[in-house]
Amino acid sequence: MIASAEIVFERRGVAGIVTLNRPQALNALSRFMVLALRRQLDEWAADAAVARVVIQAAGGRAFCAGGDIRAVYELHKAGRIDEAIDFWRHEYPLNAAIKHYPKPYIALVDGLVMGGGVGVSMHGALRVAGDRLSFAMPEVGIGFFPDVGATYLLPRLPGKTGTYLALTGNRIGPADALALGIATHRVASARFAELLEALSTDDDAANTLDAFSTDAGSASLAPRRALIDRAFAGANVEAILAALEREGTGSGDDAAFAREQAAVIRSKCPLSLKIALEQMRRGPNLDFNEAMRTEFRILSRVAREPNFYEGIRAAVLDKDNPPRWNPPNLAQVSEVAVAAHFAPLAEELAL
């Protein structure tokens, strides 16, 4: 076993086991964890004795709630933005390495999985949802954008559900995750330890997961799918809001849902919303590596703009008042400003 305060690596039978070990910080990813995980994955890829990799997390409350945005905020305050950007310069290639990993990469996901946690779990071949799985990409609420491969992942979900998740930042549970293909299996959390032991044997991993899997139950979004597909097909964020407002004029569950989603979207960062929708448009035509390079282009601009740090201040640090976005409304976000975030860089992300 190789251990640190933040991440633990273990060989058990034929499995290389990764445990995210910052439960007090909801297992938020630090730069150290990103670098250590990439090194270990490279070693295990070359080790014939390792048949598969399993990643899990300590604590129970969260698999991983994202990257360590407090640390990013402190680097910004200190004028060390290039150093902050360096975190993503390592994180995004890790996401790509997981997507292209030559051996089965199996994520046992329970509790919160958001942002960076999505990047180290949902691009693997097998994704196992526990009882408490709560998946979300809430970045537009803090002046950021859905990253760590969301440009590839979300547009490939059924209908317009990916756009819905990108623009609202709403959480979904295990039944919806399985229904949308975000998770591949549903296993009771109480059986995770037993499952880990079974995955350490020579038995076929997919067969083992099938044997442990249970019915996920009813997906809560299923009755709203037709509404989501209609409303979130709009050409721009304003059109999506207008569609939701039209749907919300009636009575019943669909109308109430539409009104709620419109209110949620209006609370998000206007520039982030328009960037996220553009990601959903471009994503279907990009392979995974192209999507990651696109996200690094966006990141390289967003990390130098005020909205991200204002969002962190308002949501994570001060928690005292709504964030003051710049621009403050959708009408003032131009197509030119959005397109500038997607422009090529002088130094593109190396993958």
Within 139-204, residue ranges assigned H as helices are 150-153, 161-168, 174-180, 192-199
pLDDT of res. 316:
86
Residues 107 and 17 occupy one common structural domain: yes
Q: Name the residue type at position 99.
A: K
User: Strands of 112-114's sheet, edge to edge?
Assistant: 62-64, 112-114, 134-136
Residues 187 and 48 occupy one common structural domain: yes
Flag whether 309 is in a domain: yes
Nearest to 311 by CA among 272, 264, 351: 272
Nearest to 134 by CA among 114, 152, 117: 114
pLDDT of res. 317:
87
- Which region, left, alpha or beta, applies to residue 108 given φ > 0 means left and ψ of -120 to 50 means alpha? beta
Q: What is d(CA 340, CA 287) in angstroms, rounded to the nearest whole number?
A: 21
Contact present, 166 and 146 (Cβ < 8 Å):
yes
Residues 90 and 226 occupy one common structural domain: no
Q: What is d(CA 55, CA 32) in angstroms, rounded to the nearest whole number?
A: 16
Q: What is d(CA 182, CA 123) in angstroms, rounded to the nearest whole number?
A: 9
Residues 16, 116, 130, 173: which is the catalytic one? 116
Residues 190 and 306 occupy one common structural domain: no
Contact present, 57 and 27 (Cβ < 8 Å):
yes
Residues 189 and 282 occupy one common structural domain: no
Reply yes or no on whether 139 is catalytic.
yes
Residues 16, 66, 67, 162: which is the catalytic one? 67
Question: Which residue range(s) make up the domain with 235?
Answer: 222-340
pLDDT of res. 2:
66
pLDDT of res. 47:
98
Residues 147, 176, 254, 278: which is the catalytic one? 147
Q: What is d(CA 304, CA 88) in angstroms, rounded to the nearest whole number?
A: 13
* Cβ atoms within 10 Å of 282's Cβ, excluding its own: 15
Residues 92 and 230 occupy one common structural domain: no
pLDDT along the chain (351 residues), means of 10: 84 98 96 97 98 96 92 93 94 98 98 97 98 98 98 98 98 98 98 98 96 95 98 98 96 97 98 98 98 98 97 89 94 98 97 94
Contact present, 136 and 169 (Cβ < 8 Å):
yes
Residues 6, 68, 139, 278: which is the catalytic one? 139
pLDDT of res. 201:
97
Q: What is d(CA 213, CA 298) in angstroms, rounded to the nearest whole number?
A: 38
Domain count, the chain: 2
Reply yes or no on whether 42 is catalytic.
no
Q: Name the residue type at position 160.
A: K
Q: What is the CATH number of the domain that holds 111?
A: 3.90.226.10
Contact present, 124 and 63 (Cβ < 8 Å):
no
Q: Retrieve residue 338's tokens.
A: 């959005």
Residues 120 and 13 occupy one common structural domain: yes
Flag whether 95 is in a domain: yes
Contact present, 106 and 207 (Cβ < 8 Å):
no
Reply yes or no on whether 147 is catalytic.
yes
pLDDT of res. 3:
62
Residues 112 and 257 occupy one common structural domain: no
Flag whether 288 is in a domain: yes
Which of 165, 185, 212 lies at the terminal end of a domain, its last residue?
212
Flag whether 346 is in a domain: no
